[in-house]
C-alpha cells in the first residue's frame, strides 16, 4: 500500500464519504465544530492566508432567511439539516498577515495592497480552506452537503458584507434515510495525470 493513512480513515474521508441530501435530527454541537476548525486550520494556503470565514446558521429565524436564497432543489435539505454553514472569503484577509506571517510581514502591502489581487487570493485560498473544512466534517464522523446553488448576492446581503464573498453553503449532520444519490463516475489516473 502506497498510502500511510489507515484504510478505514481513507474510506471515511474519501471512498465512502458522500454528499448528503438528508440528515437525522441529531444535533451538531459547538464542540464538534470547534474540533473540526482546530483540525483543518492547519491546511496549507499561500502566505499562510486565512481568508475563510464561517457563518453557522442555527436559529429558526436564520434558517428561514437562508432558505429563501437557496435554489429550489436545495431548500428542503437546507431547511432540515441540523447545522448549516455559510463559507465565505474575507477579501480583507491581508490585515491579519503580519500576525500570520511574522517572518515576512511586508507581504501584506507588497502583494495585497490592491483589492483585485486580494479578491483573487482570497477566493482561491478560502476555497482550499473550504475543502479542508469538508474533510474535517467527515473526520468528525458527520456528513457534509456542500452546495453552490443559491443567490450569492442575496446571501451576501443577508449574512455578510461587501468585504466577504460567499463560496458555498454546507449542510452538516448525521446522514438520514436515503441520503445518497448513486455514486457518479470519476476520471481515472491516466485521464488526469501526465508526466513531462
Task: State the pLDDT at residue 193.
Answer: 98
- Asked if pLDDT for residue 1 goes beyond 90, the answer is no
Mean of per-residue pLDDT scores for the chain: 96
Task: State the pLDDT at residue 152.
Answer: 98
- Asked if pLDDT for residue 13 goes beyond 90, the answer is yes
Task: State the pLDDT at residue 148.
Answer: 97
User: Cα(32)–Cα(47) distance, rounded to whole angstroms?
Assistant: 28
For residues 17-48, one letter each, b for 16 or more C-beta atoms within 10 angstroms of the residue's C-beta and e for the rest, the string is bbbbbbbeeeebeeebbeebeeebeebebebb
155-178: pLDDT as tens digits: 999 999 999 999 999 999 999 999
27-49: pLDDT as tens digits: 999 999 999 999 999 999 999 99
Q: Strand order in 83-90's β-sheet?
A: 52-57, 83-90, 164-173, 143-147
**Can you give the pTM of this predicted structure?**
0.95
CA trace torsion 160, 75, 81, 172 (10° rounding): -60
Residue owning grid cell 492566508 = 49
Strands 164-173, 52-57: pairing is unpaired
83-127: pLDDT as tens digits: 999 999 999 999 999 999 999 999 999 999 999 999 999 999 999
Q: Which of 111, 144, 127 is nearest to 53 (CA)?
A: 127
Indicate the domain borders of the chain: 24-176
The top-level CATH class assigned to 24-176 is: alpha beta
With 0-12 / 13-18 / 19 or more C-beta atoms within 10 angstroms meaning exposed / middle / buried, residue 187 is: exposed
Amino acid at each position: 500500500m502506497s498510502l500511510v493513512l489507515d484504510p478505514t480513515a481513507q474510506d471515511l474521508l474519501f471512498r465512502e464519504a458522500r454528499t448528503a441530501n438528508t440528515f437525522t435530527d441529531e444535533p451538531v454541537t459547538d464542540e464538534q465544530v470547534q474540533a473540526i476548525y482546530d483540525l483543518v486550520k492547519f491546511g496549507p494556503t499561500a502566505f499562510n492566508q486565512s481568508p475563510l470565514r464561517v457563518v453557522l446558521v442555527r436559529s429558526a429565524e436564520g434558517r428561514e432567511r437562508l432558505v429563501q436564497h437557496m435554489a429550489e432543489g436545495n431548500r428542503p435539505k437546507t431547511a432540515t439539516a441540523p447545522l448549516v454553514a455559510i463559507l465565505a472569503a474575507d477579501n480583507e484577509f491581508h490585515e491579519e498577515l503580519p500576525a500570520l506571517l511574522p517572518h515576512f510581514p511586508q507581504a501584506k502591502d507588497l502583494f495585497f495592497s490592491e483589492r483585485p489581487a486580494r479578491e483573487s487570493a482570497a477566493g482561491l485560498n478560502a476555497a482550499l480552506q473550504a475543502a479542508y473544512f469538508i474533510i474535517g466534517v467527515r473526520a468528525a464522523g458527520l456528513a457534509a452537503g456542500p452546495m453552490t446553488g443559491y443567490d450569492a448576492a442575496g446571501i451576501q446581503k443577508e449574512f455578510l458584507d461587501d468585504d466577504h464573498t460567499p463560496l458555498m453553503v454546507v449542510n452538516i449532520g448525521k446522514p438520514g434515510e436515503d441520503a445518497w444519490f448513486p455514486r457518479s463516475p470519476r476520471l481515472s489516473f491516466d485521464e488526469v495525470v501526465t508526466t513531462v
